[in-house]
């Protein structure tokens, strides 16, 4: 019997059993590779991996319907947040407004189109795509209809989610505000309050929602009992939707979401090394060259990341100086050292503290996005401080190198497969 025929047959069983409480599904932990069972219904409990502590399933009683309401509200608030001025600067009677999109446009106008595109993607486009993508899949599902290409759209939502950084942008606005209050009068517009509401709605939609609810509606997983007789080596966990597929033959694809299947992320260690090396090389220009150029009444001056922190520190804003220093200097360093350490330990087949090393990976993966803070601060300052010879801020070359460090380290963390920490120590040898 072929693999495809097998999975189809067990899905049929699963459909019959879907409403039976207590049915168990077999899943593979994405962080350590241990296979274990979880209850099929998300109402039945919060499940952490017994070996590494990774979250396997959230307990939630709120389903697709509540996620639709939150995403719909978020869509309305998104329009408000983008239609009105976010922040207004008043310098000696001259007024400059900035919408979120003008922060991206200002970078483009000053010749840094690469940074403009990053800000546009991370602060506006991807958050919008995420809301629209969720609604596209969930509204028809709620009405009992399966929308075209639902599995592709929902699989891409996971990736979009990683790169949507509204909360980091908001922090950037706050830092920008503090930097400007000594220079001019700064007023928050209606859009800034909408933006805060938008972040709260999006976080709520994520917190109360388990994506498995949608995956199980698109195609139920076979019960664990149906997989028990299969050779474990023929089962591959899908990176896209988490389904354990029974695979036979070359280049298999997931039965549920059509993602290409791999036992581990392909060439994870080599790709992560290549990206880390690139990031280390870029780290030098990022810190040596100015990230912004200031022109106040004819006096021109460049400011590197460290000088930006010093300015906040000497202005008495030490909590913010620490925050910017942490996000812009410490986090990239920690990420590079943390990932380098994990890669070396995997190559040396270390058995030392597997659970703690997996935690290091989770931290490295989670904190990376916050380094975009300085780029968002720059975008806000460039968009607002445009008063000709009186006061102007323009982006510097260091900013491009810095943004490249942030993006390459984020991709490096994503390329590495933490299950290899456990594989290298022989912890997954039983299958």
The residues of the shown chain that bind Zn ion, judged by CB under 5 A, are 29, 31-32, 49, 51-52, 54, 238, 240-241, 243, 254, 256-257, 259
Q: Pick the closer one to Zn ion by CB: 120 or 238.
A: 238
Beta bridge partners of 27: 36
CB of 54 to Zn ion, least distance (A): 5
CB of 244 to Zn ion, least distance (A): 10
Helix (H) or strand (E) holding 57: strand 55-57
Count CA within 13 A, CB hemisphere, residue 321.
13
Q: Pick the closer one to Zn ion by CB: 49 or 235.
A: 49
CB of 245 to Zn ion, least distance (A): 7
The DSSP result for 315-372, as a single string, is: TT-HHHHHHHHIIIIIHHHHHHHHHHHHHHHHHTT--S-HHHHHHHHHHHHHHGGGGG
Q: Which two tokens stand for residue 140?
A: 């028809």
Query: What distance in Å separates the CA atoms of residue 396 and residue 107, rounded to the nearest whole number?
Result: 10
Count CA within 13 A, CB hemisphere, residue 360.
19
CB of 305 to Zn ion, least distance (A): 36
CB of 402 to Zn ion, least distance (A): 34
Tell me the CA end-to-end span of the chain in Å, nearest whole number: 21
What is the per-residue burial (b if ≥16 Cβ within 10 Å, else e) of 323-360? bbbbbbbebbebbbebbbebbebbeeebeeebeebbbb
CB of 241 to Zn ion, least distance (A): 3
CB of 427 to Zn ion, least distance (A): 10
Task: Identify the residue whose tokens are 């021109």.
Answer: 300
Query: What distance in Å separates the CA atoms of residue 198 and residue 75, rounded to the nearest whole number?
Result: 8
Q: Pick the closer one to Zn ion by CB: 116 or 220.
A: 220
Query: What distance in Å separates the CA atoms of residue 180 and residue 384, rounded to the nearest whole number?
Result: 9
Q: Residue 243: CB partners within 8 Å, gap ≥ 6? A: 215, 219, 221, 237, 254, 255, 256, 257
Note whether 409 and 275 are within 8 A (CB). Answer: yes
Q: Pick the closer one to Zn ion by CB: 89 or 421.
A: 421
The DSSP result for 237-261, as a single string, is: E-TTT--EEE--SSS-B-TTT-PBP
Q: Pick the closer one to Zn ion by CB: 242 or 368.
A: 242
Q: Pick the closer one to Zn ion by CB: 31 or 423.
A: 31
Q: Which two tokens stand for residue 363?
A: 């931290």
CB of 227 to Zn ion, least distance (A): 15
CB of 371 to Zn ion, least distance (A): 27
CB of 333 to Zn ion, least distance (A): 27
Beta bridge partners of 187: 88
Beta bridge partners of 294: 301, 393
Q: Pick the closer one to Zn ion by CB: 52 or 124.
A: 52
Q: Pick the closer one to Zn ion by CB: 256 or 335.
A: 256
Note whether 32 and 418 are within 8 A (CB). Answer: yes
CB of 238 to Zn ion, least distance (A): 3
Note whether 188 and 194 are within 8 A (CB). Answer: no
For residue 112, the tally of other CB atoms under 10 A from its CB is: 24
> From the CA atom positions of the chain, what is the Rg in Å?
24
CB of 215 to Zn ion, least distance (A): 8
Q: Pick the closer one to Zn ion by CB: 238 or 272.
A: 238
């Amino acid at each position: 019997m072929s693999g495809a025929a097998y999975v189809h047959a067990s899905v049929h069983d699963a459909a019959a059993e879907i409403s039976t409480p207590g049915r168990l599904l077999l899943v593979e932990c994405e962080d350590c590779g241990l296979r274990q069972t979880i209850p099929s219904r998300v109402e039945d409990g919060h499940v952490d991996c017994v070996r590494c502590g990774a979250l396997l399933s959230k307990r939630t009683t709120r389903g697709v319907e509540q996620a639709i309401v939150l995403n719909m509200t978020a869509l309305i608030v998104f329009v408000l947040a983008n239609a009105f001025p976010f922040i207004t600067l008043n310098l000696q009677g001259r007024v400059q407004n900035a919408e979120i999109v003008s922060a991206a446009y200002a970078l483009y106008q000053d010749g840094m189109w690469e940074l403009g595109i990053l800000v546009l993607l991370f602060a506006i486009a991807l958050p919008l795509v995420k809301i629209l993508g969720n609604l596209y899949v969930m509204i028809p599902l709620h009405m009992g209809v399966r929308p075209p290409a639902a599995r592709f759209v929902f699989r891409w939502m996971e990736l979009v989610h990683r790169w949507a950084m509204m909360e980091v942008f908001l922090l950037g606005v706050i830092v920008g505000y503090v930097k400007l209050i000594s220079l001019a009068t700064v007023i928050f517009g209606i859009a800034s309050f909408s933006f805060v509401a938008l972040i709260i709605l999006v976080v709520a939609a994520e917190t109360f929602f388990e994506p498995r609810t949608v995956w199980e509606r698109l195609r139920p997983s076979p019960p664990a009992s149906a997989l028990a007789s299969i050779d474990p080596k023929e089962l591959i966990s899908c990176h896209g939707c988490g389904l354990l597929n029974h695979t036979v033959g070359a280049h298999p694809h997931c039965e549920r979401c059509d993602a290409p299947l791999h036992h581990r992320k392909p060439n994870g260690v080599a790709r992560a090394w290549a990206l880390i090396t690139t990031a280390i090389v870029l780290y030098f220009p990022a810190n040596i060259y100015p990230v912004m150029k200031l022109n106040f009444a004819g006096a021109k001056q460049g400011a590197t990341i460290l000088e930006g922190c010093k300015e906040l520190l000497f202005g008495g804003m030490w909590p913010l100086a620490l925050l910017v220093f942490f996000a812009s200097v410490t986090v990239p360093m920690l990420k590079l050292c943390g990932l380098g350490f994990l890669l070396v330990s995997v190559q040396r087949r270390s058995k030392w503290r597997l659970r703690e090393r997996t935690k290091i990976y989770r931290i490295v993966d989670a904190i990376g996005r916050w380094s975009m803070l300085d780029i968002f601060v720059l975008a806000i300052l460039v968009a607002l401080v445009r008063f000709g010879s009186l006061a102007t801020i323009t982006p510097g070359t260091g900013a491009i190198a810095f943004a490249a460090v942030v993006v390459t380290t984020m991709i490096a963390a994503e390329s590495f497969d933490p299950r290899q920490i456990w594989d290298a120590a022989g912890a997954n040898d039983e299958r």
